[in-house]
Amino acid sequence: MNKIPTKQTARVRYLCACLTLLALSHAAVGQAPPPTDLSSEEVVARVAPSVAVVLTGAGAGRLSGVGSAVIVRSDGILLTAYHVIKDAREVQVRLKTGEIYDRVELVAVDERRDVAAIRIPAANLPALAIPPLDEARLGEPVSVVSNPSGLTWSASTGVLSAVRPVEEVVETQRGYRVLQFTAPVSPGSSGGAVVDSKGRALGIVVFSKPGQALNFAVPIDAVFGLASGSEHTALPSGGDLQPQQPERPPSSASLVHENPTNSLRKARTVFISSRTVWFTTATLEKELMKQRDFQNWGLTVVRDRKLADLHLEVDRPLWTYTFTVVVQDSRTSMLLGSYEVIAASGDLAAPTLAEKIVKMIGAARSPETTIAKKD
């Protein structure tokens, strides 16, 4: 025989039902939907404002290095590769908003992992989400946002190759894990963010193996505790530091005012190249060094054209015994002079070519020429 529920029993059941519904509604509100995968464009747009440029100097405002850092707390805490700021005599942090901070504090350091936490006097910064390392999936797409070679807020993509003990990569290190990834990095990427397809920060770029798709990062969740460090060591101010400007080819307007004589007179470094197998650059270099004036003027042969004031290019047209040399301003490619010598070999042509080159430079450096140019 079924009992008819009393008013008290019905009231209890009603309250229980209400409490159950209330609990379910709270659970629904507190449970955030899982993050969704983003396109590569969306990843970069989300991550770039959370990556900073770190400029370091050697003193007197002389730029010595460029690195990256990742905002991990909105109150001004960033993580970077320790070697970026280690021993720097000047430090400056720049955000994508254009804000510049030359008052930077060292909060904590993990030298073994090569990670440091720094603080800038800022608030409400866009900190990146940091997932647990066990959520990283091998083979998943990853992106790196950093400042390679000073090219700020650049992005590259690849995959997460492995999570492995560091001793498998660097024999002198042990006791922690690193992320191996294939996204390209370059000098300046150190301290940059390795993020997953949801825009979450997996790691801090610390080192790479040149010429290979073997790049490594320290998992952020393993070093996030550095952000709570109690050290407040002021780093040397880098208020006078400026990013290195990319080289631009000279404009036609500027070339109008260039003077070949001035280029020859002011030159200090020389780069030699050869377009023929019948002439080696070492041959001409040797003969130039024998010229007394070449040494007295303090001229030096360099191996990097970017460091040269003058470019000497030697050639021997096919089926001839004529060796030619073209002298150019290395910066503007302006033709300063050209000579040719008929000889049976490059060894026989080199002394005469060297003599002609030095004679041309000497003419530009003669007192009469200098006075005429000043007048």
Are 267 and 365 contained in the same domain? yes
Last-in-domain residue among 186, 202, 234: 234
Last-in-domain residue among 187, 202, 234: 234
* Closest to 106 (Cα-Cα) out of 124, 122, 125, 85: 85
Cβ neighbours of residue 252 closer than 8 Å, sequence gap 6 or more: none
Residue 241 falls inside a structural domain: no
Are 213 and 132 contained in the same domain? yes
Residue 124 falls inside a structural domain: yes
CATH of the domain at 218: 2.40.10.120
**DSSP letters for 131-142:** --GGG--TT-EE
Does residue 317 contact residue 297 with C-beta atoms inside 8 Å?
Answer: no
Place of tokens 């990843």: 43
Are 193 and 330 contained in the same domain? no
Taking the C-alpha atoms of residue 270 and residue 268, their distance in angstroms, rounded to an integer, is: 7
CA dihedral of residues 363, 367, 373, 375 (deg, nearest 10): -150
Instruction: Please give the chain's pLDDT, 375 residues, in tens.
Output: 455 556 566 665 666 665 555 555 544 444 445 568 889 899 999 999 999 999 999 888 888 899 999 999 999 999 999 999 999 999 999 999 999 999 999 999 999 999 999 999 999 999 999 999 999 999 999 999 999 988 899 999 999 999 999 999 888 889 999 999 999 998 889 999 999 999 999 999 998 876 567 899 999 999 999 999 998 899 999 999 998 765 555 555 555 556 778 888 888 899 999 988 889 999 999 999 999 898 888 888 888 787 888 999 999 887 788 999 999 988 888 888 898 999 999 999 999 999 999 999 998 887 644 433 443
Range of the domain at 71: 41-234
* Closest to 156 (Cα-Cα) out of 164, 146, 170, 171: 146
Taking the C-alpha atoms of residue 17 and residue 13, their distance in angstroms, rounded to an integer, is: 6
Last-in-domain residue among 200, 234, 268: 234
Are 260 and 210 contained in the same domain? no
Does residue 248 contact residue 344 with C-beta atoms inside 8 Å?
Answer: no
Are 209 and 283 contained in the same domain? no
Are 45 and 153 contained in the same domain? yes
Are 230 and 259 contained in the same domain? no
Are 280 and 348 contained in the same domain? yes
Taking the C-alpha atoms of residue 111 and residue 114, their distance in angstroms, rounded to an integer, is: 5
Residue 141 falls inside a structural domain: yes
CATH of the domain at 346: 3.40.50
Residue 10 falls inside a structural domain: no
Cβ neighbours of residue 306 closer than 8 Å, sequence gap 6 or more: none
Taking the C-alpha atoms of residue 353 and residue 283, their distance in angstroms, rounded to an integer, is: 11
CA dist 94 → 109, 207, 345, 357 (Å):
21, 22, 57, 48
Cα-flanking dihedrals φ and ψ of residue 350, to 5°?
-60, -45
Are 292 and 216 contained in the same domain? no
Place of tokens 């990670």: 115
Does residue 184 contact residue 177 with C-beta atoms inside 8 Å?
Answer: no
Which helix or strand (DSSP H or E) is residue 80 part of? strand 77-81
Average pLDDT, the chain: 86
Are 181 and 54 contained in the same domain? yes
The number of domains in the chain is 2
Q: What angle do CA 72, 108, 220 make, to 5 degrees?
A: 40
Residue 22 falls inside a structural domain: no
Residue 176 falls inside a structural domain: yes
Residue 352 falls inside a structural domain: yes
Q: What pTM did the predictor assign? A: 0.60
Are 286 and 314 contained in the same domain? yes
Residue 32 falls inside a structural domain: no
Are 174 and 284 contained in the same domain? no
